[in-house]
Structures are given as C-alpha cells and as structure tokens.
Structure 1
Amino acid sequence: MHEHHDHEHTHDEIKEAVERLKSSGVRITPQRHAVLEYLIEAEIHPTADDIYKALEGKFPNMSVATVYNNLRVFKDIGLVKELTYGDASSRFDYNTTKHYHVICESCGKIVDFHYPSLDEVEALAETVTGFQVSHHRMEIYGVCPDCKVKH
C-alpha cells in the first residue's frame, strides 16, 4: 500500500510551493493554485489531460493549453518533473523527495517508491569513474495489482 498524505502535510506543501513560485516571480493565479494543489494531492502522476478534466468544472474557461502552460512554468522552476516514459502522454510529478517509479506495463500507471540509500549509487559512481554526477534515473517495470487481477 502507498501511504496517503494527511491533509496538514499537503497544506504545508502547497504553501511551500506557492512561496517558491512567488520567489521565482511567478504570478499565482487561481488556476495555477488549483493545478498545483491537484498535483500535490494526486497519488497518481496525472497527465495534463487528467488535470484539465479534474479542474474544468471549477474553471469553465480553462483550456488544456492553459494547463500545459502552467505545468511548463512549474517545470521550469523545478517544482514539477515531467515523466516521459511509459506511453505517449507525459505525466507530471510534484517533485519533493528523491524517489523512483514503478511503472505498470499494462495500464501505464506510475507509483512512487522511496528508497533513500540509492543516493549512494551516485557517490559510488563518482568515486569509481571520476565523473561529476548530476543525477540518475531508475525505472522499475511490472504489472500493477489491479491489472494482475484482470489477467
């Protein structure tokens, strides 16, 4: 099971994210706030479409393009990561701690997997190769419990 955010924690994360946007000189529009809030609360890593569908009721004049533009802004300042694996449509991940992704090969769902000691991999890689390591990525693939049941 993955742990569910308690509401207090989510509220703090939203506040923090808004502060980071402000300090980057980004205007906080109600739409931006809503997109951010949705991303932080979403357990799944939503596509721009998911976000649009979730928010169009609240913002009838919002377009998918608006959502994309907001996501690009968040991505540029490093609040959000764009995940381009799995299927054609990018998913977006609110970027707090280092974590890895376990990806369902059947439905494309992505689940977070935290494993802190993997940071040592970077240190080891530097020591062994002399590279200055900037980052690494690891993806784990399989079939999620829901799809396992269906097969």
Structure 2
Amino acid sequence: MKFSKQRELILDTIMKSDIHPTADYIYNSLKKDNPNLSLGTVYRNLAQLVENGFIHKVSMPNQSDRFDKNIKPHAHIICDVCNEVYDIDSSSIKCFINNLSSEHDVDISSYNIVFKGICKSCKKADLKI
C-alpha cells in the first residue's frame, strides 16, 4: 500500500488522538491546513487503512463509525452521557472469549464487543451535582 501525504496525515491524526475519531472529526482537524482535502478522500483512505490492518473501524448502532489506533483485540464502552468511546482491555473479556471458544469448539479470530454505560468522568461529574 502506498502512502500519500493525505493518507499519512489521516493515519497520524488517528495515532496521535486520545479518542476514537469519526471521519468528520479527522476531516475537520485536517481541513484548515489542507484545503484540498475532501471528506471523500478521508473516507477512502480510512477504508484502505482499515483494509490493510493499520487501524480498526468501530461500528456503532445509530452513530458514525469511529476509528481506533489499537488494533489488538479488545472491547469498547460508549458513554451514555458524553457519547465518547473507550477501550476496554480486560482479562475477564479474554477469559470469556477463551471459554466461549472452548464451549462451542470454535476458533475466534476477532470480535467486536460494545458495552453501553456511563464513563468514569461522567460518573464523577454527576456526583458533584
């Protein structure tokens, strides 16, 4: 896979991000300094980056897809309050996947588990009210 300047900028934006950005977020972050960048270009490059294993796409029901720099198997939680997406890398989930694999005699190569709830920051903010 060739890396154009735009593809490098898009990947760099994701890799430096502390969030799971949407295509719109990436586009808006880069547009000011790259006026020739189109939203279509961002989507096409994101698809290529996902297809080639550089990033992971996190699909959420009734929401825009998010993009994750962490390509290792892990789960996510979406906060019901702030709508942010957080990684959950837990030995409990790994144990669950291993048990599921053994119980059903299958080899699980990947998974996409998304929990909904309230993140730590929103829980703390709610306690202050």
Q: 2:11 aligns with which of 31, 36, 39?
A: 36
**Preserved contact between residue 122 and residue 135 of structure 1 (Cα < 8 Å):** no
Preserved CA contact (<8 Å) 1:99 1:114: yes
Name the structure 1 match of 2:58: 83
* SS of 2:101 mapped into structure 1: helix
TM-score for both structures, normalised by structure 1: 0.72
Which stretch shifts more, 127-136 or 41-50?
Answer: 127-136
What stretches of structure 2 of length at least 5 have no aligned partner? Answer: none
Provide the rounded CA distance (Å) in 2 between the counterparts of 1:88 and 1:120: 29
For residues 77-134 of structure 1, give each alpha carbon's deviation from its aligned partner in whole angstroms, at most 9, with x where no partner exists.
1222211115421111123333221211233210112224532333322222122323
1:141 corresponds to: 116
Q: How does 1:2-21 map to 2 (within 5 A)?
A: none
Match of 2:68, SS state, is: strand
What's the offset of the Cα at 1:40?
A: 0.7
Report the secondary structure of 2:116's partner residue: strand
Alignment of 1:68-147 (within 5 A): 68-116=43-91, 118-144=93-119, 145-146=121-122
| Counterpart contact for 1:103–1:109, Cα < 8 Å | yes
Q: Tell me the residue number matched to 1:63.
A: 38
Q: CA deviation at 1:62?
A: 0.3
> What are the ranges of 5 or more consecutive residues in structure 1 without an aligned counterpart?
1-25
AA of the residue aligned to 1:110:
V
Of structures 1 and 2, the one with the larger relative CO (CA 8 A, separation 6+) is: 2
Residues matched between the structures, number: 126
TM-score, normalised with respect to structure 2: 0.83
